[in-house]
Structure 1
């Protein structure tokens, strides 16, 4: 699909989302608490995971934050830890979470005013900025600095080489999404030709399509990737984190919301930072217990294995800053994938990011 086609589709999707949101009323709360990257029951929480003993015992009135994550994945473990361990509640926040299944949907909720904070790809903020509309989005905390997907094969692979994908079919992510663009750039970087990457299957249907016989490979996040491997339906081939540092997902809000609620943003940032730090020192059992409510049905060993994989890849940066260098990497990928023109490239990271809250982590409040 050419650039105009991709962007037109994206803009139409956002426009439709805004219309739906303006007619829908409420933010939906936990309307999709069971959503997961694959749509399988193994990644579905059955209750409100934020209702932890530490959270419910906090003797203060909580400020509700309407929050949407792009997908449900252990890739975002620091956020779930901040909920289950009561770090948000300690900051005086109540997180009303839903799973949007797409950065475009998460952005649409923010622009329509039916959401406050979204965890989405920073490229979305660039798209919105270049539209020169009334509202803009800003990243205020960069949660992940690697792509979090893994390439799995249908048949065992002894020593995978990216050239093995020549002439093969890969079940991948939607056009314009970060995992899709990282995959495309990885194939170009490795000079692999003739690979068919299927991008028209909904995120919730990808695993079902693969297990029913479609594709030679599938690109999936944890814990779905490890679940498929444990069930004998796929084999590990490679990690897309091999692409290198890439600012895949960050917390985003409208510039207006940030200006009007700087205290909420700071408390939000403090809670996630505490969740990230907690993961570095908690025991294996503590980590499993903290994440289980969000991934009901996923075996304990797979939850822990998923965490270890992401930690080994330095997924969660010690300094959660969207830097000028990170923005450069992101925009080069966008240009390479035809969703951003060279003349639209931003030279100033402050156009789509406000890292002042990250700078104040640990200063109290």
Structure 2
């Protein structure tokens, strides 16, 4: 009789434990669909959050897809194909400028500088001067996108008119820019990691400058969603932000080698040493945000960059398109 009683109690305990565990990424977990604008070591903390189970710890089942290009990512968000977009903060401003009734709100910053590097085909870092760009063929990025705007902002800072002082190529799809440079197009190109490190190892060029260092702090890549989604899913957005903050802290307190190991499943065709050098390069220039909160000074710098590029209709206050409530709670 005693044995039966213990067995029943044991079974009840197992059921209770199973129920508790199901709230940590099990069948009762809340599904969140993320659309990332590209696959890049630039987004290392996001992959750490996935691989280390930080989302699951918060009771979230996160599905990640790559929606190449800011325009496609925003279309996916606005249409409801994804719940959260990881894309440049400028896209939320574009939506706002179009008079959207359901504005897109930035709630968790992932990167705080430009993630592109200037690569020269025939020069090394010690031989490069910004004046060398004058008269050259420059393989740029899409007009209105953050890489191109931050790139032009930097060039102007060094006294170079992107439209008049060099031959600027902008008609190549983002996903094909690296391949175009590898095939011989352009003397200079803007590239993200790990592509920059790969090309250096293959002898196809040398990184001679960092647009991240040159253009200053920016809310370069941010998790954002529609205001209506936030209104209906505040708890989910908070849990999401908590997981991102855990990942940001993890990356800051672990070596590039450890981070490379964690994100390797998302870069199966990239050698470990390339991942390590890419992470190290981003850490050294302070690219990865240490907190998900958006900074007002960095936001104003973004507005300056957009204004310089002729893409800003009016200056928008941070509070209109960013909600730092979730980030502040996560940090606490």
Q: Same fold by TM (over 0.5)?
A: yes
User: Residue 244 of structure 1: which of 216, 219, 223 is its match?
Assistant: 216
Q: Does 1:181 align with 2:149?
A: yes
User: Which runs of 4 or more aligned residues in structure 1 lie more than 3 Å from their structure 2 counterparts after TM superposition?
Assistant: 57-60
What does residue 48 of structure 2 align with?
A: 81
Gaps of at least 5 residues in structure 2 are 1-20
Q: Does 1:109 align with 2:80?
A: no
Structure 1 residues 284, 149: closer, same or farther in 2, change over 3 A?
closer
> What is the distance in 1 between the residues matched to 2:315 and 2:218?
17
User: Residue 192 of structure 1: which of 132, 139, 160 is its match?
Assistant: 160
User: Residue 216 of structure 1: which of 172, 182, 187 is its match?
Assistant: 187
| Bigger radius of gyration | 2
Determine helix, strand or coil for the equivalent of 1:259: helix
Question: 5 Å matches for 1:44-83?
Answer: 61-83=28-50
Q: State the shift of 1:169 in Å.
A: 1.1
> What is the distance in 2 between the residues matched to 1:131 and 1:191?
32
What does residue 22 of structure 1 align with?
A: none
What does residue 355 of structure 1 align with?
A: 324
> What is the distance in 1 between the residues matched to 2:289 and 2:219?
10
Gaps of at least 5 residues in structure 1 are 1-53
Q: State the shift of 1:205 in Å.
A: 0.9
User: Residue 206 of structure 1: which of 156, 177, 190 is its match?
Assistant: 177
User: Residue 151 of structure 1: which of 106, 113, 118 is its match?
Assistant: 118
What does residue 5 of structure 2 align with?
A: none
Computed over aligned residues only, the root mean square deviation of the Cα atoms, in angstroms, reads 1.8
TM-score scaled to structure 2, two decimals?
Answer: 0.88
What does residue 304 of structure 1 align with?
A: 276
> What is the distance in 2 between the residues matched to 1:361 and 1:97?
22
Determine helix, strand or coil for the equivalent of 2:127: coil
User: Residue 106 of structure 2: which of 128, 136, 139 is its match?
Assistant: 139
- Aligned residue pairs total 306
Structure 1 residues 324, 206: closer, same or farther in 2, change over 3 A?
same
Determine helix, strand or coil for the equivalent of 1:360: helix
Q: State the shift of 1:191 in Å.
A: 0.3
Counterpart contact for 1:60–1:92, Cα < 8 Å: no
> What is the distance in 2 between the residues matched to 1:145 and 1:221?
14
Counterpart contact for 1:171–1:218, Cα < 8 Å: yes
User: Residue 94 of structure 1: which of 49, 61, 83 is its match?
Assistant: 61
